[in-house]
């Protein structure tokens, strides 16, 4: 019998490739609007992604000498503008869901599995992605949306996963995390969760030692078989990741 009772989804990089073409672009728009010279190119943003949270990422770039110093209040204002610009980019429909995400969400929902989000991103940015990329019915279908500053310590700390599980009344034995990054995997691992990782260009070289499955994407039936990077449970028929694969990982 399956122990899989709950799936907790990371957002940025997992539901959709939002970082390079969404968050990064919105930060640059906010810098320009504020009259700042700094621009984060694709490679630079990859370096900055080691710090989770947009405000924290700006502070980190200041500390490493990438931008002139500004106060925390100015960072918060700048980040507020960035979040509005990000929502506009999402509303333009620029960022589709990653392959297999909708299929797995719908299969799990139909199967009565609890669904939740555990992300470091800002709630209004998450809401925009749900509304424009997933569909508004998912505001009801997710049993918890755990996001942003709701916990003091962002990933790789376990807090956001622990908060989501507490809200749902589930424990780590019943819950599987879906992540895309090393920091996300560390957060899930520290919360005692099993974890499936779908890498992207920014995270391919990161360390996922101990994760339960690492693939390039979830994939779709009928498409080319997915690239499998780590398969410690020796799952078979992995042309795409199915709900049954997730159940086997938890059994």
Binding site for ligand XBP (CB under 6 A): 10-13, 19, 23, 52-54, 83, 119-122, 125, 155, 184
Please choose, out of 103-111, 135-143, 173-181, 185-193, the segment that lies near Mg ion by the rule CB under 5 A: 173-181
Helix %, strand %, coil % for the chain, to 5?
45, 15, 40
CB 196 within 8 A of CB 241: yes
Map residue 237 onto helix, strand or coil: coil
CB 91 within 8 A of CB 134: no
> CA angle 130-211-148, nearest 5°?
35
Partner from Mg ion, ligand XBP, none contacting 19, C-beta within 5 to 8 A by type:
ligand XBP
| CA pair distance 185, 179, nearest whole angstrom | 6
**Is there binding between residue 13 and Mg ion (CB under 5 A)?**
yes
**Is there binding between residue 181 and Mg ion (CB under 5 A)?**
yes
Whose CB is nearest to Mg ion? 13
Q: Is residue 223 annotated as part of the catalytic site, yes or no?
A: no
Q: In whole angstroms, how close is the CB of 40 to ligand XBP at the nearest point?
A: 11
Please choose, out of 7-15, 30-38, 41-49, 80-88, the segment that lies near Mg ion by the rule CB under 5 A: 7-15
Pick the closer one to Mg ion by CB: 61 or 180: 180
Q: In whole angstroms, how close is the CB of 55 to ligand XBP at the nearest point?
A: 7
Q: In whole angstroms, how close is the CB of 21 to Mg ion at the nearest point?
A: 14
Q: In whole angstroms, how close is the CB of 187 to Mg ion at the nearest point?
A: 10
CB 2 within 8 A of CB 111: no
- Rg from Cα positions in the chain: 18
Q: In whole angstroms, how close is the CB of 141 to Mg ion at the nearest point?
A: 20
Q: Is residue 173 annotated as part of the catalytic site, yes or no?
A: no
CB 98 within 8 A of CB 15: yes
DSSP letter at 23 equals I
Residue with tokens 């507020």: 80
**Is there binding between residue 17 and Mg ion (CB under 5 A)?**
no
Q: What is the DSSP string of 153-192?
A: S-TTSSHHHHHHHHHHT--GGGEEEEE-SHHHHHHHHHTT
Instruction: Name the active-site residue from 10, 61, 159, 180.
Output: 10
Q: Is the peptide bond before 156 cis (omega within 30 degrees of 0)?
A: yes
Partner from ligand XBP, Mg ion, none contacting 213, C-beta within 5 to 8 A by type:
none
Whose CB is nearest to ligand XBP? 54
**Is there binding between residue 148 and Mg ion (CB under 5 A)?**
no
Please choose, out of 32-40, 77-85, 181-189, 237-245, the segment that lies near Mg ion by the rule CB under 5 A: 181-189
Q: Where on the chain is the footprint of Mg ion (CB under 5 A)?
A: 10, 12-13, 180-181, 184
Please list the active-site residues.
Answer: 10, 12
């Amino acid at each position: 019998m399956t122990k899989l009772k709950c799936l907790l989804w990371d957002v940025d990089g997992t539901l959709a490739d939002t970082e390079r073409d969404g968050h990064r672009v919105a930060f640059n728009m906010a810098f320009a609007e504020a009259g700042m010279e700094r621009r984060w190119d694709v490679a630079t943003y990859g370096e900055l992604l080691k710090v989770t949270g947009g405000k924290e990422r700006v502070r980190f770039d200041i500390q490493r000498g990438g931008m002139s110093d500004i106060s925390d209040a100015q960072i918060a204002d700048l980040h507020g503008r960035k979040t509005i610009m990000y929502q506009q980019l999402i509303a333009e429909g620029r960022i589709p869901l990653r392959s297999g995400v909708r299929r797995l969400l719908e299969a799990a929902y139909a199967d009565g599995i609890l669904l939740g989000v555990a992300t470091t991103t800002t709630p209004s940015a998450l809401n925009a992605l749900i509304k424009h990329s997933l569909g508004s019915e998912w505001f009801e279908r997710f049993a918890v949306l755990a996001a942003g500053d709701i916990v003091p310590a962002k990933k790789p700390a376990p807090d956001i996963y622990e908060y989501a599980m507490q809200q749902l009344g589930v424990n780590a034995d019943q819950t599987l995390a879906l992540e895309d990054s090393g920091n996300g995997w560390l957060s899930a691992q520290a919360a005692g969760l099993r974890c499936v990782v779908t890498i992207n260009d920014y995270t391919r070289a990161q360390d996922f030692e101990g994760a339960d499955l690492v693939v390039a994407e979830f994939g779709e039936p009928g498409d080319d078989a997915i690239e499998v990077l780590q398969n410690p449970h020796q799952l078979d028929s992995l042309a795409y990741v199915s709900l049954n694969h997730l159940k086997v990982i938890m059994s």
